Structure 1
Amino acid sequence: MPSIRVLSHAFRAWRRNMKWAKHEPETPYLADLLSGSPVCLHVGASDGRHSYVMTQVAPDARIYAFEPSAFTFEVLKLCLSWHGIADQVTPIHAAVSDMPGELLLVTPKKTSGRMGRAYAFVAEAPPEGKVRPDLEDTGVELQPTPVVTLDGYCRAHGVTRVDFIRMDIEGAEQKALKGAEHVIDRDLPHVLLEIHPIMLESRFGGSAEAVIDIFRSRGYRMFALNGDRLEERTTVAPDVPWKDYFFVHPSRAPNLPDGVFKARMAA
């Protein structure tokens, strides 16, 4: 039986989805990327908000949702069940990186006393000094979590095609993408990626530029919202701690649904 806390968090997430409330501004654009029966990887799935949206814009979608937090994983499973999409979405209790194994999930405790689950990140050892440069905290909660690579998971579970990747993993994106190079080269999937320049540098020894190069070197085009307008970019937006970016490969453009991405890719 799920705990009261799990039930409370799951109910709040389920209700938000049913009201289509508190979704990221990029969420409506998924309808311009997904159609038919896409195979999607939802990395950093949290309570499954993006998985839910994927099933609404592409009812025949098949989704693999990766979530490292033991608590949030229980919330995720409940939400999938209550939304009636558990047969479409496979939840996986794991973080994603460039090597399989085990890491620590570091969850900051906010000054309000609540756990900053949206700010959790993986690390090889307990962090020293300030946990995150973009958050005031009063300590951390540490939890060991299994780690997979996307290439390894897809190979082991017979995922022979990937059409879309949604990734929001608090600075670990460069390592996770390195562990997905075979999938990216094979399928050139559409990607919606939250890039964290400060966390990339301070906790993972990476950079936003290196993340963009993963896609630029393969011919992808990069887009981001500027207010209510989708604009093409070549660099991350300045002076923001994190932001979502779309990456679309020109070879996939002819099969895009009619919408903003198809129009922009044809320009």
Structure 2
Amino acid sequence: MVEDKALAALKRIAQDEAWRAAFIRQLIAFEAAIDAPGVDVREEITGPLADALFDDDQVVRKTLSSGVTFEFLYRSKIARDFVMSTPEAPDHAWEPQTSRLLVNLARRAKQVVIGGAYFGDHAVLIAREIAPRGGVVHAFEPNNQQRAMLVRNAELNGLGNIRPRPEGLWSDSTTKLKLVGYDSFASAEVAEADAADGFRTVTIADYLEAAGVDRLDLIVVDIEGAELGALKGAEPFLALPPGQAPDILFEVHRHYVDWSNGLEATEIARLLTGHGYHLFALRDFNSNYDLSGRPIELIPADAIHLEGPPHGFNMVAVKDPAIFETDAYRIVRDVSPKLLRHKDPRLHHPVGGLQAR
């Protein structure tokens, strides 16, 4: 009976946009007011309450402090934490330091390939940065609904330089894949040739050749375990010398990458270092969290704290690590790339603490 009344109350709040916004502000205030070490308050308490206010097919609109506007489906942690951002108009949609790093790298770029573009949370920021130079973002997203949101967000922000693509990036251009899992957690698996829910693969090299593009400045791949295949499909570009080879941002996850012998021993790391790349883990929140004014913390590949339950994080690979020798970056060692508010501050908080500026 009590649970029924609680659900009815949440449903009533959800019906009024102003009530919903006020309730979410109170949830955020609750998070700030309590001290609960070891408890992930967002995941266990406030997040589920916010989720109860939305439907999976509900489209939400939110505007960043820069004026960039996004519309997105409320069906992921990405959507929930964006809705629950502090401040209400943040400087990013998802992963604060990843967003900043990509914009920084985009200042050196004109041709960009993104695998796993989703609704455009990073693609739009990159496209906006490179548009004045005639730059193009080739954005691959096999999920039809999310690709439609990507197209919508390009329109909302007046960006004509995003090329949405339905293929999956892979090590060959002849395989058919299918998505297994829900929305942002879906991974690609090989499908039968006649699978109705399948999609074709393409290598980065084959796609760019067909598109008449002979340069590549930045690769971004977050495709739930298919990162290695996608990068193998870009090897003609990876083999180029410094100044011509693309910078790369990619995700590694313990579900897909066996780092039990160290990250440097993994196949994806050996592929990149074999082509002369220097690898760093990017310390970031897998969330929307205000880190404005903080340096981007990078961990050399041989100094990453990898212990803990299965988890993933973003890495950056460059051929000229001197680009990180500015005040915008801080090289750190023997800490975790996973920034987590409820875990050991020595390993999981930014250097100087969460509140330092």
Are residue 189 (structure 1) and residue 246 (structure 2) matched?
A: yes
Q: Which structure ranks higher in relative contact order (CA pairs < 8 Å, sequence separation ≥ 6)?
A: 1
Q: CA deviation at 1:198?
A: 1.7
Q: What code does the residue aligned with 1:211 have?
A: I
Alignment TM-score, normalising by the size of structure 2: 0.56
Does the CA-based 8 Å contact 1:33-1:257 persist in structure 2?
no
Could you tell me which runs of 5 or more consecutive residues in structure 1 were left unpaired when the two chains were aligned: 109-115, 127-141, 202-206
Task: Please name the residue that 1:225 is paired with.
Answer: 282
Q: Return the alpha-carbon distance in structure 2 between the equivalents of residues 155 and 65 of structure 1.
A: 16
* Secondary structure of 2:119's aligned partner: coil
Q: CA deviation at 1:80?
A: 1.2
Change over 3 Å in CA distance of 1:64–1:229 after alignment to 2 = same
Change over 3 Å in CA distance of 1:64–1:213 after alignment to 2 = same
Q: CA deviation at 1:101?
A: 2.9
Q: CA deviation at 1:77?
A: 1.1
State the identity as a percent.
23
Please tell me the root mean square deviation across aligned C-alpha atoms, in Å.
3.2
Does the CA-based 8 Å contact 1:6-1:71 persist in structure 2?
no
Q: What code does the residue aligned with 1:20 have?
A: D
Does the CA-based 8 Å contact 2:178-2:191 persist in structure 1?
no
Q: Return the alpha-carbon distance in structure 1 between the equivalents of residues 210 and 273 of structure 2.
A: 28
Are residue 92 (structure 1) and residue 148 (structure 2) matched?
A: no
* Secondary structure of 1:198's aligned partner: coil
* Secondary structure of 2:268's aligned partner: helix
Change over 3 Å in CA distance of 1:103–1:208 after alignment to 2 = farther
Does the CA-based 8 Å contact 2:109-2:218 persist in structure 1?
no
- Selected match of 2:273 from 203, 213, 216: 216
Task: Please name the residue that 2:215 is paired with.
Answer: 161
Deviations 1:240-265 (A, max 9, x none): 42110011112x857x896646x97x
Deviations 1:13-48 (A, max 9, x none): 815597534421321122432226521111111111
Does the CA-based 8 Å contact 2:225-2:252 persist in structure 1?
yes
* Secondary structure of 1:223's aligned partner: strand
Q: Return the alpha-carbon distance in structure 2 between the equivalents of residues 220 and 55 of structure 1.
A: 25
Task: Please name the residue that 2:70 is paired with.
Answer: 14
The structure with the largest alpha-carbon Rg is 2
Q: What code does the residue aligned with 1:76 have?
A: L
* Secondary structure of 1:177's aligned partner: helix
Task: Please name the residue that 1:47 is paired with.
Answer: 119
Q: CA deviation at 1:11?
A: 4.0
Change over 3 Å in CA distance of 1:6–1:152 after alignment to 2 = farther
Does the CA-based 8 Å contact 1:197-1:208 persist in structure 2?
no
Does the CA-based 8 Å contact 2:118-2:146 persist in structure 1?
yes
Q: How does 1:1-267 map to 2 (within 5 A)?
A: 8-9=58-59, 11=61, 14-15=70-71, 19-25=90-96, 26-35=98-107, 38-60=110-132, 61-85=135-159, 87-108=160-181, 116-125=182-191, 143-186=197-240, 187-200=244-257, 209-226=266-283, 229-234=297-302, 237-238=305-306, 239=308, 240-250=310-320, 253=322, 260=328
Q: Return the alpha-carbon distance in structure 2 between the equivalents of residues 90 and 226 of structure 1.
A: 29
Q: CA deviation at 1:181?
A: 0.6
Q: What code does the residue aligned with 1:121 have?
A: S
Q: Return the alpha-carbon distance in structure 2 between the equivalents of residues 224 and 230 of structure 1.
A: 6
Could you tell me which runs of 5 or more consecutive residues in structure 2 were left unpaired when the two chains were aligned: 1-54, 63-68, 72-81, 84-88, 259-263, 285-295, 332-357
Task: Please name the residue that 2:7 is paired with.
Answer: none
Does the CA-based 8 Å contact 2:280-2:301 persist in structure 1?
yes
| Bigger proportion of residues as strand | 1
Change over 3 Å in CA distance of 1:40–1:208 after alignment to 2 = farther
Q: CA deviation at 1:55?
A: 2.8
Does the CA-based 8 Å contact 2:170-2:233 persist in structure 1?
yes
Q: CA deviation at 1:199?
A: 2.2
Give aligned pairs, total: 229
